[in-house]
Amino acid sequence: MTRAIYPGSFDPVTFGHLDIIRRSSAIVDELIVGVLNNRCKDPLFTVMERVRMLETVTKEFPNVKVTSFSGLLIDFATETGANLIVRGLRAITDFEYELQMSQTNHIMKPGIDTIFFTTSLEYAYLSSSTVKEVAMYGGDISHFVPESVMDAMNEKFQQKEELS
């Protein structure tokens, strides 16, 4: 049985992430999307909001589960009995960090390998931070995220405006 973890911040999930989820879930028995609860970052969405958004947009994939985690990825992978870690590569700028992380993880747990999916060309430019920036200034993000995520972003920015 091949169980893989696709970890990330997913703040918010984009069509680029979904493309990696679709392609990787097709070649493993089970894919766990792990939403990182990272204390060092200041996310737009809470970890529970990100988990729920991912659950909604991955409903069509029966072998995909979504869960949050904190701490070391390799510990989370061990706890869940995963033998693969999935990551996406967009540009050369992703490569150095990803290579370092995968080698570090492999030294800590030689039984767990990282596999990389190169981005589909149409999503090569796409990142959660770009989406947030466009949305913040009222731009159209329908090319970047599913409708349910678009609604959640509009709601979030409206709440922020009301608070300020």
Residues taking part in catalysis: 17, 41, 90, 128
Q: Which 110-129 residues touch ligand ADP, going by CB under 6 A? A: 119, 123, 126-128
| Chosen residue from 10, 45, 76, 144 binding ligand ADP by CB under 6 A | 10
| Chosen residue from 25, 64, 87, 149 binding ligand ADP by CB under 6 A | 87
DSSP 63-100: TEEEEEE-S-HHHHHHHHT--EEEEEE-SHHHHHHHHH
Asked if 88 interacts with ligand ADP (CB under 6 A), we say yes
Residue 153 CA to chain centroid, in angstroms?
A: 16
Least distance CB 78 / ligand ADP (angstroms): 18
Phi, psi of 18 (to 5 degrees): -60, -35
Q: Which helix (H) or strand (E) holds 26?
A: none
- Strand order of the β-sheet with 64-69 is 64-69, 30-36, 3-8, 84-89, 113-118
Least distance CB 164 / ligand ADP (angstroms): 26
| Chosen residue from 63, 80, 94, 150 binding ligand ADP by CB under 6 A | 94
DSSP state of 123: G
Asked if 132 interacts with ligand ADP (CB under 6 A), we say no
Q: Which residues of this chain interact with ligand ADP, rule CB under 6 A?
A: 8-10, 14, 16-17, 20, 87-88, 90, 94, 119, 123, 126-128
